[in-house]
């Protein structure tokens, strides 16, 4: 028991995998048992994550709940876990979305139920593992291993073009991470360790002699892997395919958590380890991020398919996050992290909502619907709240993140902020226009007349989402407070790196904005 | 005048025991009724285990034997252990195969043992003529094994092709030895290394020619591009358990020789051998991986994949040094587990006469035979180098050695080609799990001897993929100073 109490992160990480192991031994026919076990384990994981979130001390700098054991002797690789404000939020998000995905797949997954929940739980272990690893090698193991369950989720339970989407997804991501592996090993040959904290210390104190060009190449090797994962324009082409073809749970996890791994990687590795290169590339990255915001929004606007619309909106939203990160301001980075969570909740919920409609009508074409508000009043109400949160209405969660990001961008260059604000407007356009076409007006399609409204199970999912949306929108303090030290530290690292040529106007570390 | 001492015999004890068992198998074979030939297989397996025990004994008294022509050092013992593992797995996987395809003759087991003897001598010899003898012993046995299904046209073709091209290649190797002897007056690797560094002959064109000639001979055995043309035909035509053996055993033995010659004796000829290794590694990885993309037959696909894997190993050899050698040794063990496992499983799934070896024959296998499909998936993911499997760690060590030696360009080519390989390994996974249909390839329950072999491979893949420390101790010990 003492061992258990001393290793909360190990338990958190491997609890879902234990659930998967239990499922292996259940009979294939006992589908309801399998669902129950999956739900129980994912809920237990969420409870544990919540407990960690509450126990996490916002005033203590550095990593908390650290576990450090030697693992591989040569080269020295440690089993090094720990969390800070950034990872604790993302862990909470992952642990929150997994039980929702289990519930959302309750009736819609009818074939190979056992394998489905097995992969879903294995995926959760991979996600949490990515966020708790403080050893580059360990991180890479989780990062890559997680692709396999996701690949199966898309490829087996997806829609018509699922195989194409699954293979595209895995090849894109692996191509990016292959170069990151080269970068990781190179970093090891320079520093002699895979331990993130040691490398960070060496980099900040200048012990590790990373020449300017080496830093540039390393930055690019890492950044490419993360940019593909995010995905940033122009590496986004795998995303619409994967999102549209994946089953609902797959889309939720993909949008909710997997994309965040890219931005998490930028914050965790690119900025602190390669501060100088980060500053040099910041203007280009910001431009790409803004292109992503506008392009993603415009493409989302013309999608005839609701799921594709949500998928492209992800490109835009993640553009905001990357923009926030590379402003190197307190507000920008905090907003980016907050927006990561918001996007996870809102877009995850949008995918769940679209999935519910698909379960009823087996189509997602906007033109097939119209006037649903009179037939499905409860569903329409929930959809409206989630859509408003996604487009950043004040009092809902999306607003907080986007506001902080734009504030940060404003400090760097007014033009950036203005262009990003255009993105906010466009988000309102595509979401509300879609809402109008699907829910308002006369009932245009007779097939929709008899659609049943939400079941209790679906209400549970949506109510929990809406509670989180409201909470994060009205009272963001508990979340932001845990980020303060973290973000300050990241900014400090980036600022301190010896400048080769700084940004034309180096932004002052912005004063606290709340 | 060389006198044979007891210590000499102890240092080649594993080879002696294997040879004795091979001869005994041949002696017993005529007296057993046709139904009972599998007994010889078990007997051979016992011989392999006995040889393993003998190798343990040998490890307590290392040193050169027979006037320095053979050496029992950690390097050779590591390889001998690897060959014995491969032989044992292939024997376990072949019992039911031979019965099913009605070619259950005792000679099969004797040939496997003899081929293993040859491979052991290749790894243990520190004398070029002895290496050549070992190469010939193992080659001759494998030529026959490839054509073991004499009523099968493809198998005959494989044997003939392997034999003709193989003899041609060994002739090149022998020619190279002759040049080296002409240049230095010795065929002993240790003396060779000393004389080369002393005479400063390392830059002469004659040495260059002899290095190229020897590499051609060995490159054929490891199926390095452009000497790989035989590989797909032979791997496809040979009986699948033999392919399992061919794709790992002789290959690893030839790599042992390459390590001994190129990183040991010819170390002083560094730049020439390095350029050859570098070029050959790039070509092998690129051609192997790209050609595999277009294959529709599982055996041919894995044949090209095995070419690609030879390329990765060459990366480690090009990196050189103790780190490179250690990485190569680790990788060969990893490769042995996953490749033998994959071929043995394919041998079973192919059914009588190996009819179902197309990729489409596996359609829907994931749901009719979940256990079998899961095993095959593990092998494919490990070959593709997905983390938590030993295939990933193996590649990781190779790339680390390469980056440490500043071969960054080579490493980038290696990682990118290995991303390409993910596509074709996943093709099998796609048909097994993501296509509807009834699999053609599903012949009966797994015989339990095969189960033991598969379980060993799968467990080995995960255990070594997650906890490699013990194996690393062995590889770094074996990678000590060569020769």
Q: What is the pLDDT of residues B140-199, one digit of tens each?
A: 999 999 988 888 888 888 999 999 999 989 999 999 999 888 888 888 888 888 887 777
- Residue B443's φ and ψ, nearest 5 degrees, are -105, 100
- Considering only the beta carbons, identify the residue of A74, A156, A175 that sits closest to B434: A156
Looking at residue B16, its pLDDT comes to 92
B contact residues 338-377, partner A, Cβ 8 Å cutoff: 367
More confident residue, B121 or B34: B121
* Average pLDDT of the segment spanning A308-329: 90
- Cα nearest neighbour of B435 on chain A: A156
Looking at residue B307, its pLDDT comes to 93
Quickly state the pLDDT bin for B343 (edges 50, 70, 90). Answer: very high
B299 within some domain: yes
Q: What is the rounded distance in angstroms from the CA atom of residue A61 to the CA atom of residue B294? A: 54
Looking at residue B393, its pLDDT comes to 92
* Average pLDDT of the segment spanning B257-274: 75
- Considering only the beta carbons, identify the residue of A75, A148, A189 that sits closest to B381: A148
**Mutate which of A21, A71, A126, A148 to test chain B, going by most B C-beta atoms within 10 A?**
A148
Distance from CA of A168 to the nearest CA of B (A): 9
B287 within some domain: yes
- Considering only the beta carbons, identify the residue of A142, A145, A171 that sits closest to B423: A171
Q: Which residues of B touch A73 (CB under 8 A)?
A: 469, 472-473
The answer to whether A307 and A351 are in contact (CB under 8 A) is yes
Inspect the interface and report whether the beta carbons of B387 and A73 lie closer than 8 Å.
Answer: no
Inspect the interface and report whether the beta carbons of B387 and A145 lie closer than 8 Å.
Answer: yes
* Residues sharing a CB contact under 8 Å with residue A110, sequence separation 6 or more, in sequence order: none
B404 within some domain: yes
Inspect the interface and report whether the beta carbons of B468 and A151 lie closer than 8 Å.
Answer: no
% pLDDT > 90, chain A: 20
B3 within some domain: no
Distance from CA of B342 to the nearest CA of A (A): 19
Q: End-to-end CA distance of chain A, in Å?
A: 42
% pLDDT > 70, chain A: 95
Q: What is the rounded distance in angstroms from the CA atom of residue A167 to the CA atom of residue A171? A: 6
* Average pLDDT of the segment spanning A234-255: 88
Average pLDDT, chain B: 88
Looking at residue A509, its pLDDT comes to 44
Among A451-455, B80-84, B133-137, the least confident range: A451-455
Q: Which residues of A touch B476 (CB under 8 A)?
A: 74
Nearest of A126, A75, A132 to residue A98 by alpha carbon: A126
pLDDT greater than 50 at residue A460: yes
Quickly state the pLDDT bin for A503 (edges 50, 70, 90). Answer: very low
Distance from CA of B37 to the nearest CA of A (A): 39
- Considering only the beta carbons, identify the residue of B418, B434, B472 that sits closest to A178: B418
**Mutate which of A74, A194, A238 to test chain B, going by most B C-beta atoms within 10 A?**
A74
Looking at residue A506, its pLDDT comes to 41
Among A190-194, A199-203, A416-420, the least confident range: A199-203
More confident residue, A501 or B62: B62
The answer to whether B130 and B70 are in contact (CB under 8 A) is yes
Q: Which residues of A touch B399 (CB under 8 A)?
A: 181-182, 185
Q: What is the rounded distance in angstroms from the CA atom of residue A52 to the CA atom of residue B135? A: 62
**pLDDT tens profile A397-446:** 888 888 889 988 888 888 888 888 888 888 888 888 888 888 887 887 77
Distance from CA of A162 to the nearest CA of B (A): 8
Nearest of B367, B341, B168 to residue B245 by alpha carbon: B341
More confident residue, A304 or A61: A304
**Mutate which of B330, B387, B420 to test chain A, going by most A C-beta atoms within 10 A?**
B387
Residues spanned by the domain of B167: 9-478
Q: What is the rounded distance in angstroms from the CA atom of residue A310 to the CA atom of residue B125? A: 66
Q: Which residues of B touch A74 (CB under 8 A)?
A: 469, 472, 476
Residues of A with CB under 8 A from a CB of B: 72-75, 112, 140-142, 144-145, 147-148, 151-152, 155-156, 162-163, 166-167, 170-171, 174-175, 178-179, 181-182, 185-186, 188-189
Q: What is the rounded distance in angstroms from the CA atom of residue A33 to the CA atom of residue A36? A: 5
- Residue A394's φ and ψ, nearest 5 degrees, are -55, 150
Inspect the interface and report whether the beta carbons of A179 and B415 lie closer than 8 Å.
Answer: yes
Neighbours of A509 (CB within 10 A): 15
Neighbours of B297 (CB within 10 A): 15
Distance from CA of B314 to the nearest CA of A (A): 18
Q: Which residues of A touch B419 (CB under 8 A)?
A: 171, 174-175, 178
Q: What is the rounded distance in angstroms from the CA atom of residue A4 to the CA atom of residue B313? A: 42
* Average pLDDT of the segment spanning B296-310: 92
Peptide bond connecting B455 to the previous residue in cis, omega within 30 degrees of 0: no
Q: Which residues of A touch B381 (CB under 8 A)?
A: 148
Neighbours of B411 (CB within 10 A): 26
**pLDDT tens profile A56-105:** 888 887 888 888 888 888 888 889 998 888 888 899 999 999 999 998 88
B469 within some domain: yes
pLDDT greater than 90 at residue B286: yes
Q: Flag whether residue B294 sits within 8 Å of chain A, measured between CB atoms.
A: no
Inspect the interface and report whether the beta carbons of A182 and B399 lie closer than 8 Å.
Answer: yes
Q: Number of CB pairs < 8 Å for A and B?
A: 76
pLDDT greater than 50 at residue B390: yes
The three-point CA angle B32-B37-B42 to 5° equals: 115
For the whole prediction, is pTM greater than 0.95? no
Give the DSSP per-residue string, B127-183: BHHHHHHHHHHHHHHHHHHHT--TT-HHHHHHHHHHHHHHHHHHHHHHHHHHHHHHH
Quickly state the pLDDT bin for A497 (edges 50, 70, 90). Answer: low
Looking at residue A377, its pLDDT comes to 86
B450 within some domain: yes
**Mutate which of A29, A112, A129, A185 to test chain B, going by most B C-beta atoms within 10 A?**
A185
Looking at residue B36, its pLDDT comes to 83
**pLDDT tens profile A13-53:** 999 999 999 988 888 888 888 888 999 999 999 999 998 88
- Cα nearest neighbour of A188 on chain B: B400
* Average pLDDT of the segment spanning A276-294: 90
B1 within some domain: no
- Considering only the beta carbons, identify the residue of A174, A178, A189 that sits closest to B404: A189
Looking at residue A138, its pLDDT comes to 93
Give the DSSP per-residue string, B428-452: HHHHHHSS-S--S---SSPPHHHHH
B209 within some domain: yes
Looking at residue B31, its pLDDT comes to 87
Q: Flag whether residue B415 sits within 8 Å of chain A, measured between CB atoms.
A: yes
Q: Flag whether residue B417 sits within 8 Å of chain A, measured between CB atoms.
A: no
- Cα nearest neighbour of A145 on chain B: B387
Inspect the interface and report whether the beta carbons of A188 and B476 lie closer than 8 Å.
Answer: no
Quickly state the pLDDT bin for A514 (edges 50, 70, 90). Answer: very low
Quickly state the pLDDT bin for A190 (edges 50, 70, 90). Answer: confident
Q: What is the rounded distance in angstroms from the CA atom of residue A405 to the CA atom of residue A410? A: 8
**pLDDT tens profile B408-439:** 889 999 999 999 999 999 988 888 888 877 77
Per the structure, how many domains does chain B have? 1
């Amino acid at each position: 028991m003492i061992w258990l109490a001393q290793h909360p992160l190990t338990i958190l990480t491997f609890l879902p995998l234990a659930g998967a192991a239990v499922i292996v031994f259940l009979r294939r026919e006992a589908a309801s048992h399998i669902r129950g076990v999956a739900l129980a384990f994912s809920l237990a994981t969420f409870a544990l994550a919540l407990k960690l979130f509450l126990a996490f001390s916002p005033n203590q700098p550095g990593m908390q709940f650290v576990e450090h054991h030697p693992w591989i002797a040569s080269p020295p690789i440690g089993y090094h876990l720990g969390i800070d404000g950034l990872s604790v939020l993302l862990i909470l998000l992952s642990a929150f979305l997994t039980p929702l995905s289990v519930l959302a797949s309750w009736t819609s997954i009818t074939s190979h139920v056992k394998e489905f929940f097995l992969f879903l739980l294995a995926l959760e272990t991979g996600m949490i593992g990515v966020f708790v690893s403080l050893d580059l090698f360990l991180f890479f193991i989780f990062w890559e291993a997680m692709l396999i369950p996701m690949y199966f989720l898309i490829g087996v339970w997806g829609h018509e073009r699922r195989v194409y989407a699954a293979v595209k997804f895995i090849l894109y991501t692996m191509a990016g991470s292959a170069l990151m592996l080269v970068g990781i090993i190179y970093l090891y040959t320079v520093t002699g360790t895979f331990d993130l904290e040691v490398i960070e210390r060496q980099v900040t104190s200048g012990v590790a002699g990373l020449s300017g060009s080496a830093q540039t190449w390393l930055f690019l090797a890492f950044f490419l892997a993360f940019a593909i994962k995010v995905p940033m324009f122009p590496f986004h082409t795998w995303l619409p395919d994967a999102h549209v073809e994946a089953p609902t749970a797959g889309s939720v996890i993909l949008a909710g958590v997997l994309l965040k791994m890219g931005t998490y990687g930028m914050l965790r590795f690119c900025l602190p380890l390669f501060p100088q290169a980060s500053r040099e590339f910041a203007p280009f990255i910001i431009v790409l991020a803004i292109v992503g915001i506008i392009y993603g929004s415009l493409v989302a606007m013309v999608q005839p398919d609701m799921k594709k619309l949500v998928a492209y909106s992800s490109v835009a939203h993640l553009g905001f996050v990357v923009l926030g990160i590379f402003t190197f301001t307190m507000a920008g980075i905090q907003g980016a992290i907050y927006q990561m969570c918001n996007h996870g909740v809102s877009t995850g919920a949008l995918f769940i909502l679209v999935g519910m409609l698909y379960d009823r009508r087996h189509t997602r074409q906007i033109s097939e619907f119209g006037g649903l508000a009179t037939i499905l009043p409860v569903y329409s109400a929930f959809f409206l709240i989630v859509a408003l949160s996604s487009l950043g209405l004040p009092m809902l969660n999306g607003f907080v993140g986007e506001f902080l990001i734009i504030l940060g961008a404003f400090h760097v260059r007014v033009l950036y902020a203005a262009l990003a604000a255009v993105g906010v407007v466009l988000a309102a356009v595509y979401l509300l226009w879609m809402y109008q076409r699907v829910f308002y007006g006369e009932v245009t399609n007779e097939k929709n007349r008899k659609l049943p409204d939400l079941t209790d199970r679906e209400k549970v999912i949506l109510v929990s989402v809406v509670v989180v949306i409201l909470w994060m929108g009205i009272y963001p303090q508990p979340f932001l407070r845990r980020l303060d030290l973290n973000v300050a530290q990241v900014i400090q690292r980036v600022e301190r790196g010896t400048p080769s040529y700084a940004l034309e106007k180096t932004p002052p570390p912005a004063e606290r904005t709340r | 005048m060389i006198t044979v001492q007891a210590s000499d015999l102890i240092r080649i004890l594993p080879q002696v025991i294997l040879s004795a068992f091979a001869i005994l198998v041949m002696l017993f074979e005529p007296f057993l009724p046709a139904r009972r030939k599998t007994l010889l297989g078990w007997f051979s397996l016992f011989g392999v285990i006995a040889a393993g025990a003998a190798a343990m004994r040998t490890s307590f008294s290392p040193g050169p034997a027979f006037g320095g022509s053979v050496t029992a050092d950690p390097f050779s013992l590591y390889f001998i252990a690897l060959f014995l593992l491969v032989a044992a797995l292939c024997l376990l996987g072949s019992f039911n195969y031979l019965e099913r395809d009605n070619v259950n003759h005792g000679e099969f087991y004797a040939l496997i043992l003899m081929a293993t003897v040859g491979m052991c001598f290749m790894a243990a010899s520190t004398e070029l003529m002895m290496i050549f003898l070992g190469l010939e012993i193992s080659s001759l046995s494998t030529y026959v094994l490839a054509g073991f299904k004499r009523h099968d046209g493809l198998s005959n073709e494989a044997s003939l092709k392997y034999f003709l091209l193989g003899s041609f290649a060994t002739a090149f190797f022998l020619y190279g030895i002759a040049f080296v002897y002409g240049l230095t007056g010795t065929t002993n690797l240790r003396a060779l290394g000393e004389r080369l560094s002393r005479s400063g002959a390392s830059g002469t064109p004659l040495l260059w020619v002899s290095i190229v000639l020897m590499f051609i001979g060995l490159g054929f055995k490891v199926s390095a591009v452009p000497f790989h043309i035989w590989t797909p035909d032979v791997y496809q035509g040979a009986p699948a358990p033999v392919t399992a053996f061919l794709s790992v055993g002789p290959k690893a033995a030839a790599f042992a020789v390459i390590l001994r010659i190129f990183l040991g004796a010819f170390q002083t000829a560094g730049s020439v051998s390095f350029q050859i290794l570098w070029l050959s590694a790039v070509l092998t990885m690129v051609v192997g991986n790209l050609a595999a993309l277009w294959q529709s037959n599982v055996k041919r696909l894995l044949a090209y994949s095995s070419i690609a894997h030879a390329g990765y190993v060459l990366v480690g050899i090009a990196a050189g040094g103790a780190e490179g050698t250690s990485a190569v040794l680790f990788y060969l063990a990893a490769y042995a587990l996953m490749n033998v496992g994959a071929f043995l499983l394919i041998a079973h799934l192919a059914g009588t006469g190996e009819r179902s070896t197309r990729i489409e024959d596996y359609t829907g296998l994931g749901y009719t035979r979940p256990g079998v499909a899961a095993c095959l998936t593990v092998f494919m993911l490990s070959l593709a180098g997905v983390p938590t499997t030993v295939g990933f760690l193996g590649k990781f060590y190779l790339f680390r050695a390469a980056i440490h030696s500043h071969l960054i360009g080579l490493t980038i080519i290696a990682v990118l080609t290995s991303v390409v390989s993910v596509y074709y390994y996943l093709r099998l996974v796609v048909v097994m799990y993501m296509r509807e249909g009834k699999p053609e390839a599903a012949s009966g329950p797994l015989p339990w001897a095969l189960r033991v072999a598969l379980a060993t491979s799968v467990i080995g893949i995960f255990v070594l993929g997650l906890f490699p420390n013990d194996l690393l101790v062995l590889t770094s010990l074996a990678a000590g100073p060569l020769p």
